[in-house]
Amino acid sequence: MKINAYRYLKYYKKEMILGPAFKILEVIFELITPFLMAYIIDTGINRATEFNDYSAIYIPGIIILALSVLGLSSTLVCQYFASIASQGYGTKLRNALYEKIMGLSLREIELVGKGNLVTLITNDVNRVQLSVAMMVRLVLRAPALIIGSLICAFIIDYKFAFIFLGVVIIISLILFFVIKYSSKRVLTTQKAVDELVTISNDSLSGIRVVKAFNNEEYEINKFKDKTSAYYKEMKKVNLLNAITNPVTFLIINIAIVLIVYFSGVSAINGTDLSSGNLTSLISYLNQILLALIVVSNLVVIFTKAFASKKRIENILSMEPSIKNNPKYKDLKIKNREPIFVFKNASFKYETGDNLVVSNLNFEILKGETVGIIGGTGSGKTTIIKLLERFFDVTSGHILYKGVDIKDYDLTSLHDEISLVNQRAVLFKGTIKSNLMMANKNATNEDINNALKDACAFEFVSNYKDGIDHEVEEGGKNFSGGQRQRLSIARSILKNSEVLILDDSTSALDYLTEKTLRNNLKSKENLTKIIIAQRISSLQNADKIIVMYHGNIEAIGRHDELLKTSKVYKEIYESQEVK
């Protein structure tokens, strides 16, 4: 379903109507003023000099003053409505977008790219938000001023008004071509900015690697290449704008000269254009000029906003590829009954050409400890992504608790499985807030027990503030092994039926890992799936799955595999202390 990003304006109908209405009031006041000025010049000054009667000067003078105060107040009111509407709209749109992104499946998030998503909720939303402010403040004002000034000019003197019309047409044509050229450029510069964001995101998040490899210069040059592409594009746009403004002023000034000239000629011919009317014609011309310049700026703002709007709408209209079909939930099974069954399951990533795992056939029983081992890239993490239903199998089936995993309620599924990722992920907050993500009702005692099970209790209690110790962005104030233990503690706290450790003990020393293994062993109802590179991490498992290039090479217990699996034996021998 196509979603219009402007739909969130519906919450600000009042502001969207009242704002422009006040702006139109201001335009009317602005258009009346030159008439009054003309009256002062033509009638007021005459009366003052001939009859010493100043009323025709100060009465219109006071009215002009009152009109400008009213005009200013209308502008302020309009500005107020504009900021309520645009800020409120921006907030609503940003929240909706974020909610949408959170609901998408990994497939879509990987396709769009995380960097792009960040640009979308910041830059792109800002641009659309600005367009809303402009809609309230200027979109009606500029044409109203142009048309109003033209009408006033026709009222004053239709012959001179044709000069106005000519000027408006010529300048509009020039602006049209400038805008047509620059909007294309604006879109290319936008792409250049996006690339800048992506590149800097990538380099900054990998800054340690960049520094370790002394690669700063390479990164700087990569960045410079992109900034210079951006610079070149922007130079062209700005040059054009730089020429456009003086040209517009020149045309207006020529028009003023023409009007003054023709008014002189008509004075000679006896058909007089009064000096008051001449002054007001000139001020109408100036108003047209200013309004036209506003229009050209508006077009640039809207060109950018529409491009951003389209990108936002693409995301808002996306449907998550993983559909929740909650036919089953909270199913209970007995110990040693199959909890996961893979039947000829194969999977291929959207961006890849080949199957990364193929024809997987195996069973995992409730309460079992299952190890998965195999070379890097052999498909271990992919199996986990399928178990969690982050992705659906390309062919074959996965049964969870005896039913097709696609029919199991996704929320229940994720509640029942607890995953520790290959890369320990912590969030800004405290140790406690990080752990409680897994279980909102956990007491301090539960948290401490989980920390004990994960061998993290000791180092956490060394902090003065214990579990309230601060966790910085990405957990960067912890060592790799500490991060791993905290994320294991979080998964244990979740108290789920299945615990998956995806290479999550790689940074732990042998002794700590052994203690952790023993702690987990005592949880008999917990199904444990342990991916590891070290044989010692999983040699006591009930079942070990050996992966080789996306296929299962063998399944069995440690001692069986030493006899039957070539790959397992090789790994074992490579790790033997000689």
Ligand X SMILES: Nc1ncnc2c1ncn2[C@@H]1O[C@H](COP(=O)(O)OP(=O)(O)OP(=O)(O)O)[C@@H](O)[C@H]1O
Say what the alpha-carbon torsion angle 109, 113, 119, 124 is, to the nearest 10 degrees.
-60
Taking CB under 5 A as the binding criterion, the range among 26-34, 108-116, 284-292, 374-382 that sits at the site for Mg ion is 374-382
Min separation Cβ 203 and ligand X, Å: 21
> CB of 8 within 8 A of CB of 89?
yes
Should residue 421 be labelled a site residue for Mg ion when binding is judged by CB under 5 A?
Answer: no
Q: Which does 522 bind (CB under 5 to 8 A by kind): ligand X, Mg ion, none?
A: none
- Distance of alpha carbon 184 from the chain centroid: 23
The long-range contacts involving 148-155, CB below 8 angstroms and separated by at least 24 positions, are 148/27, 148/28, 148/31, 149/31, 149/284, 149/285, 149/287, 149/288, 149/291, 150/288, 152/31, 152/34, 152/35, 152/280, 152/284, 153/281, 153/284
DSSP H helical ranges for 213-318 = 216-268, 275-316
Would you say 129 or 382 has its CB closer to ligand X? Answer: 382
Based on the shown chain and the rule CB under 5 A, indicate whether residue 533 belongs to the binding site for Mg ion. Answer: no
Site for Mg ion in 100-139 (CB under 5 A): none
- Residue 241 as a binder of Mg ion (CB under 5 A): the answer is no
| Shortest-Cβ-distance residue relative to Mg ion | 381
Instruction: Show contacts with Mg ion in window 343-362 (CB under 5 A).
Output: none
DSSP 475: G
- 548 - beta bridge partners? 551
Of 88 and 113, nearer to ligand X (C-beta) is: 113
Name the token pair of 234: 């922007």
CA distances from 213 to 11, 220, 226 (A): 52, 14, 22
Q: Binding partner of residue 49 among ligand X, Mg ion, none, CB under 5 to 8 Å per kind?
A: none
Are the beta carbons of 44 and 57 closer than 8 angstroms? yes
Of 19 and 374, which has the nearer Cβ to ligand X? 374
Q: How far is the CB of 422 from Mg ion (least distance, A)?
A: 5
Q: Which is nearer to Mg ion, 89 or 568 (CB)?
A: 568
Q: Which is nearer to ligand X, 110 or 195 (CB)?
A: 110
Q: Least distance in Å: CB of 504 to Mg ion?
A: 10
Cβ proximity to ligand X, 326 vs 377, nearer residue: 377
- Of 375, 308, 272, whose CA–CA distance to 94 is shortest? 308
Q: Region of 421 please: left (phi>0), alpha (psi -120 to 50) or beta.
A: beta
Q: HEC string of 201-214?
A: HHHHHCHHHHHHCC
Helix (H, G, I), strand (E, B) or coil at 366: coil
Contacts to ligand X by CB under 6 A? 110, 349, 351-352, 356, 374, 376-382, 422, 503
382 binds, among ligand X, Mg ion, none (CB under 5 to 8 A by kind): ligand X
By a kind-dependent CB cut-off of 5 to 8 A, residue 443 interacts, out of Mg ion, ligand X, none, with: none
- Answer yes or no whether residue 198 interacts with Mg ion by CB under 5 A: no
Q: Calculate ∠ Cα 190-194-199, nearest 5°.
A: 145
Q: Rounded to the nearest whole angstrom, what is the least distance from the CB of residue 383 to ligand X in the complex?
A: 7
Report, in Å, the least distance between residue 379 CB and Mg ion.
9
Minimum CB separation of residue 394 from ligand X in Å reads 13
Shortest CB 503 distance to Mg ion, Å: 6
Radius of gyration of the chain, Cα coordinates, nearest whole angstrom? 36
Told to check if 433 binds Mg ion by CB under 5 A, we report: no
Report the residue from 381, 495, 540, 564 that binds Mg ion according to the rule CB under 5 A.
381
Q: How far is the CB of 347 from ligand X (least distance, A)?
A: 9
Q: Any idea how long the chain is?
A: 578
Cβ-proximal residues to 177 (8 Å cutoff; 6+ apart), any chain: none
Q: Which of Mg ion, ligand X, none binds 190 (CB below 5-8 Å, type-dependent)?
A: none
Q: State in angstroms the smallest separation of the CB of 529 from ligand X.
A: 13
Q: Is residue 539 at the binding interface for Mg ion, with CB under 5 A as the rule?
A: no
Q: What residue ranges bind Mg ion (CB under 5 A)?
A: 381, 422
